[in-house]
Amino acid sequence: MQVLIVGTVAFDAIETPYGKTDKIIGGAATYIGLSASALLEKTKLVSVVGDDFPQETIDLMTAKGMDVEGLQIRKGEKTFFWSGKYHRDMNSRDTLDTQLNVLADFDPIVPESSKNADVLMLGNLMPSVQQRVLDQMNQRPKLVVLDTMNFWMDNFMDDLTEALKSVDVLTINDEEARQLSGEYSLVKAAHKILEMGPSYLIIKKGEHGAMLFDRDNIFFAPAFPLADVLDPTGAGDSFAGGFVSYLAKHGEISWPAMKRAVAHATVMASFCVEKFGIERLLEITPAEMEERKLALAELTRM
């Protein structure tokens, strides 16, 4: 199945208890695409950068199978920039700086060659932008996955609830699930959210794992236990990239396939956080991916 990925391509500056970076490559679509490239030879990208974005990174993405025809490069403008500092628990962070730049008036244009994609991965972006991408597709994709965050719930809840009506899978974290539903219990929250549009809900709990819900079932995947987590940035996006790439590769949309996709997604997120930025995603070998999947399955075998 062909996957179209929409999301930011960005610069990040990150501080964690283990170190600090200057401007490095980041962005939801970057992480999603690089994570997906572990399973898929080709993916399609819709995003926007300024002409300050390095051509060598675009070449790298292309080499990893990301078709950048839908990547707008805006002359004389600057790439989206985010800077943040993680607390010791790595589950919470402070945003130090956000410069929207090209993202401020981003109007996504889906190339003709991408309008028939089977899987649409809507990375974290303004909900109306996510909606505009969906509206450009020739037909509804077989699977639409949407990632979002509390910022859009705080400021664009109407747009978000509208977008959710067209979505198969929603991925959010536990606090966002509580905010979106108004329920503290995640079981109750999930049931309310599944009434809002999505057929499946993934609640990401960082080091505490991820839960997959449909109306009748719950699946839980623990986070892969790591001795060292250096930088959580992109973990959720690597998870999303792992999730859609697994489903696309196996061509099956079902509860059992979704469970296996969540397990693969968990493994991809675990690689991401072992180094700063996208670095670790670029090094993963098939052998270590397989090894970690087996270890994850063993972790909960009773």
Return the residue of 68, 117, 186, 244 that touches a copy of itself, per CB under 8 A: 186
Bridge partners for 99 per DSSP = 81
Interface with a copy of itself, residue 182, by CB under 8 A: no
Calpha distance 22→14 (Å, rounded) = 7
Return the residue of 41, 56, 104, 227 that touches a copy of itself, per CB under 8 A: 227
Cβ neighbours, 10 Å, residue 68: 19
Shortest Å, Cβ 167 to a copy of itself: 23
Name which of 156 and 220 has its Cβ closer to a copy of itself.
220
Query: Which residues 6+ apart lie within 8 Å of 75 measured at CB?
Result: 51
Closest CA to 164 of 199, 133, 139, 189: 199
Q: Scanning residues 242 to 281, which ones bind a copy of itself (CB under 8 A)?
A: 259-260, 263
Interface with a copy of itself, residue 219, by CB under 8 A: yes
Interface with a copy of itself, residue 294, by CB under 8 A: no
Q: Scanning residues 17 to 76, which ones bind a copy of itself (CB under 8 A)?
A: 17
* C-alpha distance from residue 134 to each of 140, 211, 232 (Å): 8, 26, 29
Calpha distance 113→108 (Å, rounded) = 14
3-state secondary structure of 73: strand
Return the residue of 51, 98, 135, 226 that touches a copy of itself, per CB under 8 A: 226
Interface with a copy of itself, residue 225, by CB under 8 A: yes
Two tokens at 90?
A: 């790595």
Q: How many residues bind a copy of itself (CB under 8 A)?
A: 30
Buried b (16+ CB within 10 A) or exposed e, 209-231: bbbbbbeeeebebebbeeeebbb
Interface with a copy of itself, residue 209, by CB under 8 A: yes
Return the residue of 22, 41, 88, 97 that touches a copy of itself, per CB under 8 A: 88
The helix/strand count (H/E) of the chain reads as: 10, 14
Interface with a copy of itself, residue 222, by CB under 8 A: yes
- Contacts to a copy of itself by CB under 8 A: 17, 88-89, 184-188, 205, 208-209, 211, 218-222, 225-229, 259-260, 263, 297, 299-302
